[in-house]
Structure 1
Amino acid sequence: MKLLKNKWALLSLNLAVGLAFFLITAPALQLKHMINILFYFGACWLFVGIFLWTVHGGFFDGVVYGFRKSFERSFKRNDYLSENDTVPSEKVSISFVKAACFQGFCLLVLMLILLTRFYAA
């Protein structure tokens, strides 16, 4: 968990894992393959970050309440929301959302820098 708090250490870990994937899976050590790997990593981090940002904003709280209400009716219970039930927006940490968006943004910026180098050559 300490690694998630340091965004630069997590970024270097992402780059190291990406480099390892590049060295293992690339048939020829070409810049195109590294650009693809950085895009996959960056897009995944950015997708997770934006999705969790939407969840943290409370977009799905009404949907969860509706499902709980319908399931409670079908099982013949009267308490639609008890005190122990939490909504998804309370479970998502904003620090993790910011870290995921930062990782995705940095990896995609690095990918764009390598992409300009690839097409400039």
Structure 2
Amino acid sequence: MRAVETIEMVDVWRRVIVGDEKSWVLFENGTCVILMEPEEDLAAQATEILREYGPVHPGSEAGDFGTIDLEAAPGWVVYGHHNDVLTYVSPEEVESPEDVMIGLLGRSKRDQDGRGLTVVHVEDKRPDR
């Protein structure tokens, strides 16, 4: 992800995530891991979650997905089998805004992030920081 894309993606997630107190980590392809119980090293914690819940395994719950139409930003969030692992899909990325196409793209991006595990941003909202 280029620097401009990263800045834009951070802005999207800041608008989309409900609750100013939530820490989160953004990965290279737009997957965000929200850390409901943040530990000392947020990037390491999110990486471990995404290592387990990011890769797609066809025929398992890791292949399942759902989509959410966003109000706070253009596009959609694709969710899967972990409530706090979400992937952003922008309108520019899809030719047809059908849930299946959006979901397949988001799932593919999550799979790439779950295998690459490249952190591009950490949003630390812990009160003691």
TM-score higher than 0.5 here? no
Higher helix share: 1
TM-score (norm 2): 0.28
Higher strand share: 2
